[in-house]
Amino acid sequence: MGVRQPFLPTSREEMFARGWESVDVVFVTGDAYVDHYSFAMAVLGRLLEAAGFRVGILSQPDWRSCGPWRTFGRPRLFFAISAGNMDSMINHYTANRKVRNDDAYTPGGKIGRRPDRATLPYCQRAREAYPGVPVIAGGVEASLRRLAHYDYWSDTVKPSILLDSKADLVAYGMGEETIVELARRFHAGKTVRDMRDLRGVAYALGASEAPPPPSANVRHIPAFEEVKGSKDRFLEATKAIHQETNPLNARTIVQLHGRRAVVQTPPQPPVSKERMDYYFGLPYTRLPHPGYQDPIPAYEVIKDSVTIMRGCFGGCTFCSITTHQGRTIQSRSQESVLAELKTMAAAPDFKGVVSDIGGPTANMYEMRCTKPEVEKICRRLSCVHPTICKCLGTSHGPLVDLMKKARAVPGVRKVVVASGIRMDLARLSPEYMTELTRHHVGGRLKVAPEHVNPGVLDAMKKPTHDTFEDFAAKFKAESEKAGKAQYLVPYFISSHPGSDLKEMIELAVFLKRNGYKPDQVQDFIPAPFDVATAMYYTGRDPMTGREVKVAKGLRDRRLQRALLQFFQPRNYFEVREALLKAGRRDLIGEGCDCLIPSKPPREALLERRERAGSELEDHVHSRELPKASKGYRPQRPTWRKRG
């Protein structure tokens, strides 16, 4: 690990303290500034710093005026805009479109520190603050909206975020190589138009500019107006977009939006182990900016963890990790990981326990396609579904070796695996199962079977349920051999495409028979770009064209969620409604398989009474007249007050 450097400046005073009169790049983020590689502004800011550029961090600015965007003066090169580590709409709203009570990326978990669709006002304020300065959007929110997409919160198909935000470019995916090359080219006097040959970017052509014609290297997909007006065309576009995600064979994508075209270049290639080591070895302080008084929940979760790889070849249809980080696993060297562990162990506040060693998935370290000639032409979206590809290298040997060395680092008492385990891979390695259960489980191990019904699992691109059963049996046997009482914590999803009440009841009965009582429930949220989102919107699988069951109404979704926690008294009446609606009265009563008793418990009656009172209060308040709106930019000449 490099020698720690001061925090990147977050104010004019901090900029002057470094002896700077201005900065080259202003990085605008919807997250609190944490100088740790788990936070994008830290990685990209430190990379630019190492390349010789001056960077200012504008963290969670007040977007109601452009004043904060002038904190560092006019940036010499560009504004880099990100909504943060999460999509701002998923950060703000539950699956039922209710406002969340906290924000893990804000000090104290407080809400309201970033706007809805944060990329849009952030880009617009940058334009307003300093016209003519290039605006580059990136991060998860912009990446997943770079082309026409379905938006769950408005229930509409929206155009590329490039057109709504007026950003000059979207740098999609993991942006380390892209942002440094952008800075170098702008420094050399190049213009935004000179950036269009970069990989991993999307840009909008002017109305008078002709898009590149279809060719062996250019693929035209249905236009925005077509995908907005036809679900068949939306499915066609979704399939095409996901077929062009392998950096080794992806083509440039062109999508018309009226008289303009949005162009997406192929993804950046996977980075080498040496570059991964470089990213993770930058001189982070590993701490939140000292200006914060309250703890930042997301930092508290990761501060004692170590990331060893990124990317995922699972291709789960409801997950954006593959879309954002890529399908190819990119791993750090053992030397890099062990150096970080030694740095952590030397910190005075380290308690000796590494809270996690993993990544998007804990056990994909150094797994890759064993046949480069096949990988070069492959367009498969998952290397493990419907079966594990015979070309995939699934050896856990490098990971087992790393885990042994990690727990031998002086000052480290225990190394816990808290990232999700890919069960279909883990069960193939008895050595890994032994190592895991004997040394790296903190009493409970997270796994994600997600469902039990074959049709739903197929729609998710998840392994069949017998994979979970086999893994659970092996985990139990190995734990008993180790003389440890250890348990699995399985995660399940409600309301995923393919699942209606019948499938959810099947899952609830499985939970009852096996004694699982999930504390947390994943309620499917259709994120932009995901394959499952296309299923939700159209009712069909974009890859096969088959019809898929979809729970769209909030009431139906609430019933499915209640079934996952049938054992909680507050869910009694919703579970009863779901069972009666599905014709499963046999599951109401006092029998072994019954999900709920015949009579509601007292807690259920009290909960219903309180809920009725709360809904009445909400209804009364909703009758109040709305306050007059000031509009977005009341200073503009054409502004008129709206009441």
E strands present in 69-129: 78-82
- The answer as to whether 155 is a domain residue is yes
End-to-end CA distance of the chain: 57
Could you give the count of Cα atoms lying within 13 Å of 30 in the half-sphere of its Cβ? 33
Question: Tens digit of pLDDT for each residue in 145-196?
Answer: 999 999 999 999 999 999 999 999 999 999 999 999 999 999 999 999 999 9
- The answer as to whether 455 is a domain residue is no
Cβ atoms of residues 257 and 223 within 8 Å: yes
- CA distances 352 to 36, 129, 179, 439, 484, Å, are 19, 47, 36, 14, 21
Query: What pLDDT score was predicted for residue 492?
Result: 95
- The answer as to whether 620 is a domain residue is no
Per the structure, how many domains does the chain have?
A: 1
Question: Tens digit of pLDDT for each residue in 88-124?
Answer: 999 999 999 999 999 999 999 999 999 999 999 999 9
CATH (domain of 66): 3.40.50.280
- The answer as to whether 170 is a domain residue is yes
- The answer as to whether 359 is a domain residue is no
CA-wise closest residue to 510 among 480, 551, 477, 468:
468
CA distance 148 to 157: 7
CA distance 326 to 200: 11
Question: Tens digit of pLDDT for each residue in 543-587?
Answer: 999 999 999 999 999 999 999 999 999 999 999 999 999 999 999
**Domain span at 47:** 12-204
**DSSP assignment of 354-368, as one string?**
E-EEESSSTT-TT--
Query: What pLDDT score was predicted for residue 616?
Result: 53
CA-wise closest residue to 551 among 571, 581, 528:
581
> Checking DSSP bridges between strand 156-158 and strand 78-82, what pairing results, if any?
unpaired
Query: What pLDDT score was predicted for residue 494?
Result: 96
- The answer as to whether 336 is a domain residue is no
Query: What pLDDT score was predicted for residue 617?
Result: 55
Cβ atoms of residues 339 and 412 within 8 Å: no
Task: Quickly tell me which residue has 């942006």 as its tokens.
Answer: 175
Question: Tens digit of pLDDT for each residue in 42-87?
Answer: 999 999 999 999 999 999 999 999 999 999 999 999 999 999 999 9
187: Cβ contacts below 8 Å, ≥ 6 apart: 24, 53, 77
Residues of the chain with pLDDT under 50: 619-643
- The answer as to whether 468 is a domain residue is no
CA distance 373 to 391: 10
Query: What pLDDT score was predicted for residue 382?
Result: 96
CA distance 99 to 464: 35
Query: What pLDDT score was predicted for residue 90?
Result: 96
Q: Is the pTM of this model over 0.85?
A: yes
Q: In 3-state terms, what secondary structure has residue 615?
A: helix
Angle (CA) 142-148-153 rounded to 5° is 70
Query: What pLDDT score was predicted for residue 631?
Result: 38
Q: What is the b/e burial string over 156-189, where b = at least 16 CB atoms within 10 angstroms of the residue's CB? A: ebbbbbbbebebbbbbbbbbbbbbbbbbebbeee
Question: Which helix (H) or strand (E) covers residue 57, if one does?
Answer: strand 55-59
CA distance 482 to 485: 9
CA-wise closest residue to 438 among 396, 477, 395:
477
- The answer as to whether 22 is a domain residue is yes
CA distance 129 to 28: 13
Q: Which two tokens stand for residue 271?
A: 């980075």
CA distance 576 to 505: 11
